[in-house]
Structure 1
Amino acid sequence: MSYSRIGVVTGANKGIGLAIVRQLALQYPESPLNNGRLLIYLAARDQSRGESALQSLYEDIDLKKAKALQTDGAFSEIKYHALDITDTRTIESFAQHLKQAHGEGIDFVINNAAIAMQGFDSNVVKTTLGCNYYSTLEACHAFLPLIKSGGRLVNVGSTAGKLSKYSDEIRNRFLASRTESDVTQLMEDFASAVEAGKEKEMGWPSAAYAVSKAGLIGATRALALAEQEKGGTVLINSCCPGYVKTDMTRGGGVKTPDQGAQTPVMLAIADLKGQTGMFWRSEKHEEW
Structure 2
Amino acid sequence: MTSRIALVTGATQGLGTALVAGLAQRMDATDTVYLTGRDAARVGAAVASLPASPGEVRGEVLDVADPESVTRLATELERRHGGVDIVVNNAVMRVGPDDDPRAIIDDYAQVNNFGTTRVLRAFAPLLRDGGRLIVVASSLGTLRFLAPALHDRFDGLSSLDAVDAATGDWCDQVRDGRARAGAWPGFVNIPSKIAQVAAVRALADQRRQSDADRGILVAAVCPGMMNTPTSALWWDVSDAPTPAQAAGPLLSLALDPIKPDHYGELIRDGAVLPWRPAA
- TM-score normalised by L of structure 1: 0.84
Matches within 5 A, 1:54-203: 54-57=47-50, 60=51, 69=53, 74=54, 76-103=55-82, 105-118=83-96, 119-203=99-183
Tell me which amino acid in the other structure corresponds to 2:142.
K
Report SS of the residue matched to 2:92.
coil
Percent identical pairs in the alignment equals 30
Task: Note closer, same or farther for the CA distance 1:48–1:181 as it changes in structure 2 (3 Å cut).
Answer: closer
User: Which whole-Å CA distance do the structure 1 matches of 2:149 and 2:163 have between them?
Assistant: 14
Report the RMSD for the aligned CA atoms in angstroms: 2.2
Residue 272 of structure 2 is matched in structure 1 by 285
Contact 1:110 1:264 in 2 (8 A): no
Q: Using the TM superposition, name which of 228-237 and 252-261 deviates more.
A: 228-237
The runs of 4+ residues in structure 1 deviating greater than 4 Å are 229-232
User: Which whole-Å CA distance do the structure 2 matches of 1:83 and 1:278 have between them?
Assistant: 26
Report SS of the residue matched to 1:159.
coil
Tell me which amino acid in the other structure corresponds to 1:261.
A
User: Which whole-Å CA distance do the structure 2 matches of 1:200 and 1:266 have between them?
Assistant: 39
Structure 1 gap segments, 5+ residues each? 30-35
Tell me which amino acid in the other structure corresponds to 2:259.
K
2:23 equivalent to 1:43: no
Task: Note closer, same or farther for the CA distance 1:196–1:96 as it changes in structure 2 (3 Å cut).
Answer: closer
User: Which whole-Å CA distance do the structure 2 matches of 1:192 and 1:83 have between them?
Assistant: 27
The offset of 1:130, in angstroms, is 1.3
2:259 equivalent to 1:273: yes
Contact 2:145 2:190 in 1 (8 A): no
Q: Deviations over 1:201-251 (max 9, x none)?
A: 432101222211110011111111111256674311001111112243246
User: Which whole-Å CA distance do the structure 2 matches of 1:3 and 1:134 have between them?
Assistant: 32
2:244 pairs with one of 247, 258, 262 = 258
2:201 equivalent to 1:221: yes
2:225 equivalent to 1:243: yes
User: Which whole-Å CA distance do the structure 2 matches of 1:182 and 1:87 have between them?
Assistant: 20
User: Which whole-Å CA distance do the structure 2 matches of 1:96 and 1:180 have between them?
Assistant: 20
Contact 1:129 1:208 in 2 (8 A): no
The offset of 1:178, in angstroms, is 3.3
- TM-score normalised by L of structure 2: 0.86
User: Which whole-Å CA distance do the structure 2 matches of 1:94 and 1:248 have between them?
Assistant: 28
Q: Using the TM superposition, name which of 10-19 and 20-29 deviates more.
A: 20-29
User: Which whole-Å CA distance do the structure 2 matches of 1:175 and 1:143 have between them?
Assistant: 24
Task: Note closer, same or farther for the CA distance 1:51–1:163 as it changes in structure 2 (3 Å cut).
Answer: same
